Amino acid sequence: MQIARESIFVSAIRSLINAFFAVIGVLIGVVVLLALSTISLSKKNDFGEPGKTKIRLVPNGEGNRSLLPDSAPVILKLNVHGVIGSEKLNSHAIESILLSSREGILSGDRVKGIFVDMNTPGGAADDSDEIYQMLMDYKEQYKVPIYTYVRSLCASGGMIVACATDKIISSPNGIIGSVGVISGPYFNFSKAMANWGVAAKTFTDGKDKDLMNPTRPWKADEGQDLENIIRSSYKQFVNLVVKHRPRIDRVKLVNDYGASVFDPETAEEYGYIDEANVTYRTALKEFAKACNIEDEYQVVEISHYPSLAAQLIESSFLKGTIKHEFSNGMNNQSKLLYLYQ
C-alpha cells in the first residue's frame, strides 16, 4: 500500500497559515478584553472615581524630599505645562489629580495648599474655563490657599487658570499676558479649485449648515455668528481677569494691553502678577508660610495617565480615524482658543 506524503513546501505553507491565524485570533481576543476593561473603567469614572494617578515626592522649599510620617502636611505641586486641552493637560486630567489629592495616603486633609507651576501658552477655551472653576471649587470646599508660580509662560488660557489662585508670582524668565480669543485660521480654496477645474459638493440640510465651507465662495456676512461668539467669550475673559486682578485697568486692558505679553516687571506694574523676579524655591517657602505650615512638610506631584486599555481604545488606529493636529498639539478643529501662538 502506498502512502501519499505531503511535500516539505506544502507542509511549511500549511504551518505558516496556521500560525498566522493563531496570531490573529490572539490579537482579536486581546482587543476584546481591552475594550471590555475600558468600558468598565469609563463607567466607574462616570460616577466620579478618579482616573489612574501616581504620586511623586519632589523637593520642598528647603530642598528636602525625604519621606515623612503620614501626619506631615503636604503641598500639592500642580504642573500646568504645555497646551491646555491637549492629551496630557485637560480638565479630566486635572479633575483626577484634584480628586486623588484627597484620597489614599493624602486623605485626612493632609494637603494644605496647591502650588500651581505654570508654563503654558494656553489652549482650549472650554478646558481653561473648567480648570479655573475646579480650582475655585477646591479652594472654597477645602479652605486652602492656591498660588501660581510662572516658571516660564503664563499666557491666554494660562491667565484664566491663574486667576483662580490667590497670588501670582513670576520667575525672572516669565512671559505673562495675552488676554484674547482666537479661532482659526480659516482658508478658502474655491478660486484655486476653479482655476484647476476641481469642484466639490457638500450635502446639507439647515440654513448655513456648511458655514465657512472652504470649497465655495463665502458670503459677505459669513462667519458673523462665530465673530459674535468670540466677542462674547472675550468679554467673559476680560471680566474674569479684571475681577481677580483688580489692579488691571479694564479700559487699558482692552484698548492698550490687548493680547500682548509682558516681561515680569511690566506685568507686575500693570497688575497681571503680584511679584516679579522670584526664584522657585523662594516662592515655595513663601507659599508654605501662607499655608500656616511651621514644621516639616512634603511637596508632591500627582500625575494622571490613562490605562493601556484606554490608550489603545482611544487610539486613531482602533477607531479607524486619523487625527490632523497643529504642531502646538491642539486638534485641528474649529474651536475657541485662549492660546498665545
Q: What is the tens place of the pLDDT at every residue in 87-110? A: 889 999 999 999 999 999 999 999
For the chain, percent of residues with pLDDT exceeding 90? 59
Report which of 89, 122, 146, 133 is spatially closest to residue 261, judged by C-alpha positions: 122
Confidence class for position 6, pLDDT limits 50, 70, 90 = low
Report which of 118, 94, 155, 85 is spatially closest to residue 340, judged by C-alpha positions: 155
Average confidence (pLDDT) over 298-308? 80
User: 18: which residues sit within 8 A by CB, 6+ positions away?
Assistant: none
Over residues 269-302, the pLDDT tens digits come to 999 999 999 999 999 999 999 999 988 999 999 9
Note the pLDDT of residue 1.
42
Give one word for 168, left, alpha or beta, with left for phi > 0 and alpha for psi -120 to 50: beta
Q: Is the pLDDT of residue 55 over 80?
A: yes
Q: Is the pLDDT of residue 326 over 50?
A: no
Q: Per DSSP, which regions of the chain are E strands?
A: 53-58, 74-81, 111-120, 122-124, 146-155, 167-170, 175-177, 261-262, 298-304, 337-339
User: 150: which residues sit within 8 A by CB, 6+ positions away?
Assistant: 118, 119, 162, 168, 169, 170, 171, 174, 175, 176, 264, 273
Note the pLDDT of residue 220.
87
Confidence class for position 125, pLDDT limits 50, 70, 90 = very high
Q: Is the pLDDT of residue 32 over 80?
A: no
For the chain, percent of residues with pLDDT exceeding 70? 77
Average confidence (pLDDT) over 99-128? 96
Note the pLDDT of residue 41.
37
Average confidence (pLDDT) over 62-78? 94
For residues 57 and 69, give the distance between their C-alpha atoms in angstroms, rounded to a whole number.
Answer: 13
Q: How far is CA 147 from CA 111, 123, 171, 340, in A?
A: 14, 21, 13, 22
One-letter amino acid of 260: S
Note the pLDDT of residue 200.
87
Q: Is the pLDDT of residue 144 over 90?
A: yes
Report which of 136, 166, 133, 128 is spatially closest to residue 149, judged by C-alpha positions: 166
Note the pLDDT of residue 215.
87
- Using the Cα atoms of residue 14, residue 17, residue 21 and residue 27 in order, give the sign of their dihedral: positive
For residues 297 and 132, give the distance between their C-alpha atoms in angstroms, rounded to a whole number.
Answer: 26
Give yes or no for a contact between 336 and 233, defined as CB atoms under 8 angstroms apart.
yes
Report which of 171, 173, 175, 182 is spatially closest to residue 153, judged by C-alpha positions: 175
Domain extents for the chain?
50-180+223-339, 187-221
Give yes or no for a contact between 120 and 83, defined as CB atoms under 8 angstroms apart.
yes
Note the pLDDT of residue 77.
98
Give how far the C-alpha of residue 170 lies from the chain's centroid of Cα atoms, to the nearest Å.
21
Over residues 203-230, the pLDDT tens digits come to 988 888 888 888 888 888 888 888 999 9
Q: Model pTM? A: 0.79
Confidence class for position 23, pLDDT limits 50, 70, 90 = low
Note the pLDDT of residue 168.
98
For residues 168 and 245, give the distance between their C-alpha atoms in angstroms, rounded to a whole number.
Answer: 10
Note the pLDDT of residue 79.
97
The three-state secondary structure class of 106 is helix
Q: Which CATH superfamily is domain 50-180+223-339 in?
A: 2-enoyl-CoA Hydratase; Chain A, domain 1 (3.90.226.10)
Q: Is the pLDDT of residue 314 over 50?
A: no
The three-state secondary structure class of 238 is helix
Confidence class for position 306, pLDDT limits 50, 70, 90 = low
One-letter amino acid of 271: G
Integer Rg of the chain from CA: 27
Note the pLDDT of residue 58.
95
Note the pLDDT of residue 31.
58
One-letter amino acid of 236: Q
Strands 261-262 vs 175-177: parallel, antiparallel or unpaired: antiparallel
Average confidence (pLDDT) over 140-161? 98
User: What is the residue-averaged pLDDT of the chain?
Assistant: 84
